[in-house]
Structure 1
Amino acid sequence: MTISADERDALYKVIYSRRDVRGQFLADPVPEEVLRRVLDAAHHAPSVGFMQPWDFVVVRDFEVRKQIKAGFETAHAEAAAMFEGAKREQYRSFKLEGILEAPVGVCVTCDRTRSGEVVIGRTANPEMDLYSSVCAVQNLWLAARAENLGVGWVSIIHHDSVRQALGIPEHIVPVAWLCIGYVSFFHDTPELEQAGWLPRLALEELVHQEQW
């Protein structure tokens, strides 16, 4: 299958316009067929040994999302204490999640037992199954952007908080809590870059030829 120039350009547009959305979510519901397409894109991510270790827990219930929010608040306070001085105050000023504002939350997990103990490609590097689930997150994120949906990854939360709120078995690893919904606008550049937290690094500084 050959990709046309227009299709190539559309893919790059999606990649470069993807944002981690925190505060622009609208209350508009996400249609089932749209969410299905986005989840199907996630399900077509590459996975080590074709083990497909992911599951997707779709959460619309406000009370459940309030439990996730409480878990975020606990981890958020812990994180703030790790920064010092002006950085701590700047960190506290950031809007870092949209758990209650977004109409849908999706938890992406990893079942590390799904294909047994020995998995093609996971023998030397056992963490490859976790990376596979992260690939599913990226697929979901890009597909959502192509659907004009915003996505925010809430990483400031302990796995046990997510497990308890969603009834996830102990052997399943929660990889990502994603806030999903239509938004009022997408930022032109990442918010942390705008805030001066960190700059985007130059690609030339990160590419090595032949050896490090």
Structure 2
Amino acid sequence: MSLTTIIKKNQLREQLPDAAHPALLRRIIELGSLPTVWNNVTTIRPRLLLTWVIPSITLIIGDQPRPALVHKEYLLSLQQNAHLYKDIVAMRGREFGDEYDNTPFDVLSILGMPCLVTTKQETGKQPIVISLEAFPEDEFYPETDLSFQSLTYTNFDWALYNSLSKTVREKMEKTPQFQQVLAQNPTRQPIAVDETAINLPL
């Protein structure tokens, strides 16, 4: 008789330099309504996940070259004190004018926008976004051959959904919005994605 398990060695992960990087907003994911704690009070609020690509940097993760990507999660709120509002203003390099007062703003309109993303990464952890700035007007925009992607519950793309990391998919599956999409597509079930240590957490 035997009791076996697979030997897995730690994958080498190249560090992203702590700096301000020219980047493009590559992906916007509507996560759905999730618990949010503020002042020890838990509420259910809609959330977004934004992903930037840094075209000038390719990281070797494990033994595979991967585009440098960084992510940040937000409440879907454009109140002036909200992080999403502040970061969009920072990326634009200007405040919203009076013409935007009490007017719906399409967050997807910033998809593909260039900016400077300042990152910090602790050893063994994912890089985090420290701050965003407008892209300098006198410099060329960064280029990438990666497509720009968005996933919303009103235009749900199962192929894109199934390409996301297990962590993100599990978050989405807990939301009422995902359950509604699933109820409208009873024959369409989430499929398992091969999760390996070299995958970026998308």
The structure carrying a bigger strand percent of its residues is 2
User: Normalised by the size of structure 1, how large is the TM-score?
Assistant: 0.23
Looking at secondary structure, tell me which structure has more helix per residue.
Answer: 1
Scaled by the length of structure 2, what TM-score is found? 0.24
Higher relative contact order (Cα pairs below 8 Å, separated by 6+ residues): 1
